[in-house]
Structure 1
Amino acid sequence: MDALRRLPDATVLTDPEAMEPFRHDESHVVGCAPLAVVRPRGPAALRELVRLARSEGFGLVPRGAGTGKAGGCVPTARTVVVDLAAWPGSIRVSPQDLSLTAPASALLRDVKATAAESGFFYPPDPNSWESCALGGTLATNAGGPNACKYGMTRHWVLGLEALLADGEIHRFGISSVKANTGPSLAQLLVGSEGIFGLILGATLRLTPQPREYATLLLPVKRWMDLLDLPGRLSAAGFLPSAFEFFDPAVLADLRAHGPEAARRLPGEALAILEFDERGCTSDDFLGALADLLGPVADGLEIAADARQREGIWAVRRVTSAFLKERYPKKVSEDIVVPRSRLREFFERLERTGIPSVSYGHLGDGNLHVNLLAAGETPHEALEAQLGTLFRLAVELGGTLSGEHGIGLAKREAFLALAAPGHIETLRALKRALDPDGIFNPGKVI
């Protein structure tokens, strides 16, 4: 479109080959060919983009680093991809306010590193933390291992800058934890996947950097015994900063085909437990924890230093990429089940006969259930398996996504399983904030 090529303060791509990478993210979803890919560098480009979208009838699809897992940033029919990877801004820490400001384009690894350089901690740590953009983590309310103690991304957002339907950039929130002036519009945008507007930057809450880490590799003799442990830890007053798990099938695959470090992993199933509270490395703390674990543990290992800690975490970080390389057409779903019903979930999942393997965040019930044979499974059969999985999670008081979001990949399932009042409320908000339907059309609702 000629009008797009004349956008002020922006780079515009229209060559089909150059735009091809923007049709997909890290999910199995492949989108339509976009009308263009626009890389705005300032407000003037955004203002004109919104005006053109309204007058020409196309949608605006936000994109950061493209590491999403639900097709949230892939283009639908007649849309323009707004690539925010070069959106200007710098990362700034305010020690007095315990806060950090950063543009949507900032890589999460740089946000976390800048906080750490000042002695602070920004906890959200999705598996893609080294390559994902901050804007994407805000749009999807990203999680990660630390969420079982520190919560999701939204727990750390004080304020946002966002492009709304009037073409202007608006600021919501202040650099303080107390701002009680009605509903938080910043929080409304966090996790909205770009359907209400485009997030351009944020002010984030920080906490002091932990001084101690107790990192434990926990092999278990019997897989099902592991599933009761999150509830037992909570009831006994232990709050791990991370509690990750590998089921027997994932562990067997890692042993047989994974990196060298993974081939020596013990146990029928395996967990990684980490604590970061003051005193967690003391003999008293570790002794009480060992007493609680009791016969569940089968050769408990405790990292003696930072190198050993990193070695334990390296296997967890590589698991997703390892399975993707082994099974490139697999489908991974990030369902959530309450901790009190984890054993029931896996018992019932086994009875369904769905061929799957699981790993992920046992501490908060966020399970990455992988259907490794999805590429060879007929479409109707695969959809039936996914539907059964989602319904099981919902029936047990959980949900069909813990951290990846809905996007395109789970839209139909979300519309089928969510309460009608929930869907209608979201659609009413969409009509109020985006009356022309230009922001990320076709996603979520």
Structure 2
Amino acid sequence: MATFPEIPDAAVLTASDTTEAYRHDESHLTGDAPLAVVKPRTPAALRELVRRAKAEGFSLVPRGTGTGKAGGCLPMGPAVVVDMGQYEGRIEVSRPDLALRAPASALLKDVKAAALAEGLFYPPDPNSWDQCAFGGSLATNAGGPGACKYGMTRQWVLAVEALMADGEVHTFGIPSVKCNTGPSLGQLLIGSEGIFGIITGATVRLIPAPQERLTLLLPMERWHDLLELPARLVSAGYLPAAFEFWDPSVLADLRSHGPEAARRMPGEALALLEFDDRDCGTEAFLEGLIEALGDLAEHLQSATDARQREALWEVRRLTSVHLKERYPRKVSEDIVVPRSRVREFFEAMEGMGLPTVTYGHLGDGNLHVNLLAAGETPRPELDRQLVDLFGICVRLGGTLSGEHGIGLAKRDAFHHFSDPYHLEALRGIKQGVDPLGIFNPGKII
């Protein structure tokens, strides 16, 4: 195809200098050069894209703002990237329904802000919450620190609007918490990374916004004591809204080379705890928490105002950026192990003897393990190291991705560790809803 014709109600980019950026996301991978990048504004544009894809044999690869870390939005083979950033629609909040509807083009930060303006709360908070698109967060089932208490994006979706293989936009679900009419095709689309269809919008569930927050910094003199803490808190009846951590290696790196705020961070290892319970600002709540922590609470520090809280969270959010700048060829994984087996995981990791630093969501066992020497490691050896890492997680009852997804980056590993029946079932669903394979081929399955 020498040229790509115009699409009604859409902008079409074909020049290589404007499409080159669409070969990359936040992973270490590079996609093929797309035939074009199309920015649809209406269902009519999407309908025409599907018609042409079927007639001319190219695929459609959906994309938000490109903050994904698994290569899920990268073009492969003859493909058109469908940039949903200009798709029509506005954010609408229904207080009586405790629901919010937004187009895929909305930014997640604007979705969260619209809910908060009505005194309501939409919890999903991936690290890129202030940059990523709402549609992308749905397609990848985004997580974040808040998943410790509030779960993943999937738990909050009531209805999904999506372009399917017939060229039409369909709505799956209703804007209510009760809808028991057979299996949910809408839920099937959440986390599917665009392989079944392209999400154009969704209605999500809201809750009243928390009125209190208690943010605590917990320095640990003995690193392994921290690993027992998630189960200890839950057993005592405390479920943090977030429970983040830095291991000794990443904390030492931040102290030596990080921003000024990070250089003052105490302890051999460090935890960031946040609660948003109704009474978490009371002395009684804090006293009960200190009792649950026992001798680990000796150096506990509390953020006394919003400025201090934001400073602590800023260091947490900048950790990924800092490591990428320091080790540009590192490979970062987002594995999961059950809370009760976190210590076993780290003991097994020590046995691997690899230069790694780890931080992330200790409260739900979603750990960001960074292999610092990946860029200097021959690819076959790196692949073996990753298989060994994933194998530890699977043996402990976990999995190879907690929030970043599979995409291209983990496709081979996903096939290696998945139940063959599971894979065949997914392929059968793909064949059923996208028989010509036009939506994001080569990802996940």
TM-score range, shorter chain: over 0.9
Q: Secondary structure at the match of 2:360?
A: strand
TM-superposed deviation, 1:4: 3.7
- 1:32-56 CA-to-partner distances (Å, cap 9, x unmatched) read 1111111111111111111111111
Check the 8 A contact 1:156/1:204 in 2, yes or no: yes
Letter in 2 for 1:74: L
> Does the CA contact (< 8 Å) of 2:4 and 2:35 recur in 1?
no
The alignment partner of 2:85 has SS state of coil
Is 2:272 the counterpart of 1:272?
Answer: yes
**Corresponding letter in the other structure for 1:394:** V
CA distance in 2, matches of 1:181, 1:376: 53
Give the aligned partner of residue 281 of structure 1: 281
Other-structure match for 1:237:
237
Counterpart amino acid of residue 127 in structure 2: N
For 1:341-356, what aligned pairs fall within 5 Å after superposition? 341-356=341-356
Contact 1:93-1:100 within 8 A present in 2 as well: yes
Residue 376 of structure 1: how far off its partner (Å)? 1.4
Code of the aligned partner of 2:74: V
Contact 1:108 1:134 in 2 (8 A): yes
3-state SS, counterpart of residue 131 of structure 1: coil
CA distance in 1, matches of 2:306, 2:17: 44
- Cα deviation code 1:240-276 (max 9, x no counterpart): 0000000000000000011000000000000000000
Answering whether residue 128 of structure 2 is matched by residue 141 of structure 1, we say no
2:309 alignment partner in structure 1: 309
Deviations 1:408-444 (A, max 9, x none): 0000000010000110110000000000000000000
The answer to whether the 8 Å contact 1:221/1:297 transfers is no
Match of residue 411 from structure 2:
411
Amino acid at match of 1:161: E
**Amino acid across the alignment from 1:156:** W
1:380 aligned partner, one-letter code: P
- Residues 179-328 of structure 1 aligned to structure 2 (within 5 Å): 179-328=179-328
Distance of 1:4 and 1:119 partners within structure 2: 47
Q: Secondary structure of 2:400's partner?
A: coil
Provide TM-score, normalisation by structure 2: 0.99
Q: Which amino acid aligns with 2:193?
A: E
Correspondence for 1:94: 94
- The match for 1:388 is 388
Letter in 2 for 1:182: G
Per-residue Cα deviation, 1:18-45 (whole angstroms, up to 9, x for no partner):
1100001000010011111111111111
Q: 2:79, 2:149 → 1: CA distance?
A: 39
Root mean square deviation of aligned Cα = 0.9
Q: Which residue of 2 aligns with 1:77?
A: 77
Deviations, residues 249-305 of structure 1 (Å, cap 9, x unaligned):
000000001100000000000000000011111111111111121222451101111
Aligned residue pairs total: 445
Partner SS state of residue 354, structure 2: coil
Using the alignment, how far apart are the partners of 1:297 and 1:220 within structure 2? 9
Conserved? CA contact 1:31–1:76, under 8 Å: yes
Q: Does structure 2 conserve the Cα–Cα contact (< 8 Å) formed by 1:215 and 1:275?
A: yes
- Structure 2 residues without counterparts, runs of 5 or longer: none
Give the letter for the 1:171 counterpart: T
Deviations 1:303-362 (A, max 9, x none): 111111111111101111111111111111000000000000000111011221100000
The one-character-per-residue Cα deviations of 1:118-162 (angstroms, maximum 9, x if unpaired) are: 101100000000000001100000000000100000111000110
Are the equivalent residues in 2 in contact too, given 1:220–1:298 (CA < 8 A)?
A: no
- Aligned to 1:199, the other structure's residue is in SS state strand
5+ residue gaps, structure 1? none
1:378 aligns with 2:378: yes
Match of 2:430 in 1: 430
- AA of the residue aligned to 1:215: T
C-alpha distance in 1, partners of 2:298/2:130? 32
Q: Normalization by structure 1: what TM-score? A: 0.99
Residue 195 (structure 1) shift = 0.3
Q: What secondary structure is seen at the aligned counterpart in 2 of 1:162?
A: strand
Contact 2:244 / 2:361 at 8 angstroms: preserved in 1? yes
SS of the residue corresponding to residue 96 of structure 2 reads helix
- Contact 2:4–2:14, Cα closer than 8 Å, also in 1: no
CA deviation profile, 1:202-230 (whole Å, cap 9, x unmatched)? 00100111010010000001111100100
Partner of 1:62: 62
Query: Distance between the aligned counterparts of 1:2 and 1:418, measured in 2?
Result: 40
Taking only the aligned residue pairs, the percentage that are identical comes to 68
